[in-house]
């Protein structure tokens, strides 16, 4: 048999073997819960250098703000039963050429938007971009790919209106929906503003229909509001055109006793994740609300279920690095944990 023929046979078997491996990995990924897993140390992380990313809010750029330890940058999310595909920002831009993504929600949505902006910018550093940012909206575009990713601030999703009586949170009305129309990938988020009390609370009354309520269980109000949002999605979104995601509840690390370290006050000084794949603290009441509302929808909405993976990351917050006085144990350093949210978003998009 000639050398040339042997080479062809060898290449055929190599190619055939590769197809089998890729098919197996794809089947494994499709049957895997990518939100169950643990954090493992990986020297190849982070995906990008935050000092070279121009889209990060001052308070979240922890390295620039002087954070000394950098272990928190070196952890990769490892699902229990499969491996995540490596994030490829250029591939995302090419596959979604001519498309637009929009993050709608509170500052945790902004946290994820900033992360994705950095990941894409790092993937195509020589590609021109345009960037426009106002108080409630940030828009990053890559003209080469005709691709846009937007953050729209809307922490309740439903309307908060100032009236004579005071600040009224209208649980059954939506006014920003025109901006959601025509978007190819929508990633919504709403939770943290709902758990505020006292001076942090940004409303005076709830309203349902014509009735005002001075007091209402916050999770009951949250469920009414999410149901209002869900009805709009069911009535207005065409799944063949628009893919909808809901960012799950992101963890707060304000009390060490929540992760079985009662001697620890909060997230300050934490440098490593919680080991393993279980969190000793309680579940968030909003988790059940989100899953209940999504399960009753007629249109498909993908839950980006980040709760467990963020609960395990007591080390990933800005803490006191940014201001020295304000202790931030709810938002996340960029680069850092939100990069994993986008790796998971990328994986879910690939599965589509």
User: Is pLDDT above 90 for 115?
Assistant: yes
Predicted confidence (pLDDT) per residue in 273-307, tens digit: 999 999 999 999 999 999 999 999 999 999 999 99
Percent of the chain exceeding pLDDT 90 equals: 87
CB atoms within 10 A of CB 288: 12
Tokens of 252: 């707060």
User: Is pLDDT above 70 for 25?
Assistant: no
User: Is pLDDT above 90 for 163?
Assistant: yes
Strands 159-163 and 166-170: antiparallel
Higher pLDDT residue, 137 or 135?
Answer: 137
Predicted confidence (pLDDT) per residue in 4-17, tens digit: 665 666 656 555 54
Q: Give yes or no for a contact between 352 and 42, defined as CB atoms under 8 angstroms apart.
A: no
Q: Report the alpha-carbon distance of residue 336 to residue 208 in Å, rounded.
A: 39
The radius of gyration of the chain's CA atoms, rounded to the nearest angstrom, is 22
The catalytic residues are: 107, 328, 331
Predicted confidence (pLDDT) per residue in 186-219, tens digit: 999 999 999 999 988 999 999 999 999 999 999 9
Higher pLDDT residue, 99 or 326?
Answer: 99
Instruction: Read off φ and ψ for residue 75, nearest 5 degrees.
Output: -110, 140
Residue 84: DSSP 8-state: P
pLDDT confidence bin for 20, thresholds 50/70/90: low
Mean pLDDT of 63-86: 96
pLDDT confidence bin for 352, thresholds 50/70/90: confident
Q: Residue 24's pLDDT is what?
A: 47
pLDDT confidence bin for 31, thresholds 50/70/90: confident
Q: Give yes or no for a contact between 103 and 111, defined as CB atoms under 8 angstroms apart.
A: no
Percent of the chain exceeding pLDDT 70 equals: 90
């Amino acid at each position: 048999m000639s050398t040339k023929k042997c080479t062809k046979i060898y290449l055929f078997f190599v190619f055939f073997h590769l197809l089998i491996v890729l098919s197996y990995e794809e089947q494994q990924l499709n049957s895997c819960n990518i939100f169950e897993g643990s954090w493992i140390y990986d020297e190849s992380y982070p995906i990008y250098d935050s000092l070279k990313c121009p889209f990060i809010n001052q308070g979240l750029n922890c390295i620039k703000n002087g954070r000394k330890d950098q272990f928190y940058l070196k952890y990769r999310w490892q699902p229990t039963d499969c491996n995540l595909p490596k994030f490829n920002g250029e591939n995302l831009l090419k596959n979604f050429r001519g498309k637009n993504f929009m993050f709608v929600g509170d500052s945790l949505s902004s946290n994820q938007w900033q992360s994705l902006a950095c990941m894409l910018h790092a993937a195509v550093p020589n590609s021109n971009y345009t960037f426009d940012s106002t108080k409630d909206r940030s828009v990053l575009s890559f003209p080469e790919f005709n691709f846009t990713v937007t953050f729209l601030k809307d922490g309740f999703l439903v309307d908060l209106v100032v009236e004579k009586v005071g600040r009224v949170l209208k649980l059954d009305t939506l006014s920003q929906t025109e901006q959601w129309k025509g978007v190819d990938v929508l990633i919504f988020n709403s939770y943290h503003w709902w758990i505020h009390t006292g001076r942090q609370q940004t409303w005076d009354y709830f309203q349902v229909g014509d009735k005002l309520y001075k007091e209402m269980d916050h999770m009951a109000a949250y469920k009414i509001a999410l149901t209002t949002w869900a009805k709009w999605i069911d009535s207005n979104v065409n799944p063949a055109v628009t893919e909808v995601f809901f960012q799950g509840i992101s963890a707060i690390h304000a009390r060490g006793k929540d992760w079985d370290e009662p001697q620890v006050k909060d997230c300050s000084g934490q440098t490593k994740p919680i080991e393993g794949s279980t969190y000793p603290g309680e579940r968030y009441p909003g988790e059940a609300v989100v899953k209940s509302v999504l399960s009753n929808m007629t249109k498909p909405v993908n839950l980006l279920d980040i709760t467990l993976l963020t609960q395990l990351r007591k080390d990933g917050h800005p803490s006191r690095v940014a201001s020295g006085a304000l202790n931030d144990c709810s938002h996340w350093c960029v680069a850092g944990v939100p990069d994993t949210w986008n790796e998971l978003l990328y994986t879910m998009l690939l599965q589509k």
